[in-house]
Amino acid sequence: AQKITQTQPGMFVQEKEAVTLDCTYDTSDQSYGLFWYKQPSSGEMIFLIYQGSYDEQNATEGRYSLNFQKARKSANLVISASQLGDSAMYFCAMREDNQGGKLIFGQGTELSVKP
């Protein structure tokens, strides 16, 4: 079974608009961490945002926020005021602490920002 599911292979958004990238996860652990990474066409992996399972507040980093709904096991990434440079692959990942810190990634969502 997939541990991390990203159901949107590709998304389009108009420049300056907000976009939500979906991520659901599957774990029986109580302690885990959720991450989002960006991978532009250059191939580098860029860390965006982190949410711990015990964090009560949704994480925010600049234009990025993480909509964490623990009961639904979802950790959607919201990008506000999209920019052309946001066009990239976006990966959701989960670290399960009872698995020793193993980090598992979803299949990714390709975001294209239109001018």
Does 44 bind another protein (CB under 8 A)? Our answer is: yes
The CB density around residue 16, as the number of other CB atoms within 10 Å, is 11
| Near another protein by CB under 8 A: residue from 91, 94, 111, 113 | 91
Residues in the chain: 115
| Near another protein by CB under 8 A: residue from 31, 80, 98, 112 | 31
Q: For another protein, how many residues bind (rule: CB under 8 A)?
A: 23
Q: Which is nearer to another protein, 28 or 115 (CB)?
A: 28
Q: Token pair of 3, please? A: 């541990």
Cβ neighbours for 40, distance < 8 A, ≥ 6 positions apart: 46, 87, 88, 89
Q: What angle do CA 9, 76, 87 make, to 5 degrees?
A: 50
What is the closest distance, in whole angstroms, from the C-beta atom of residue 101 to another protein in the complex? Answer: 6
Q: Is beta strand 60-61 parallel, antiparallel or unpaired with respect to 74-79? A: unpaired
What residues from 96 to 115 belong to the interface with another protein (CB under 8 A)?
Answer: 97, 99-108
Binding site for another protein (CB under 8 A): 31, 33, 35, 37, 43-45, 47, 50, 52, 91, 93, 97, 99-108
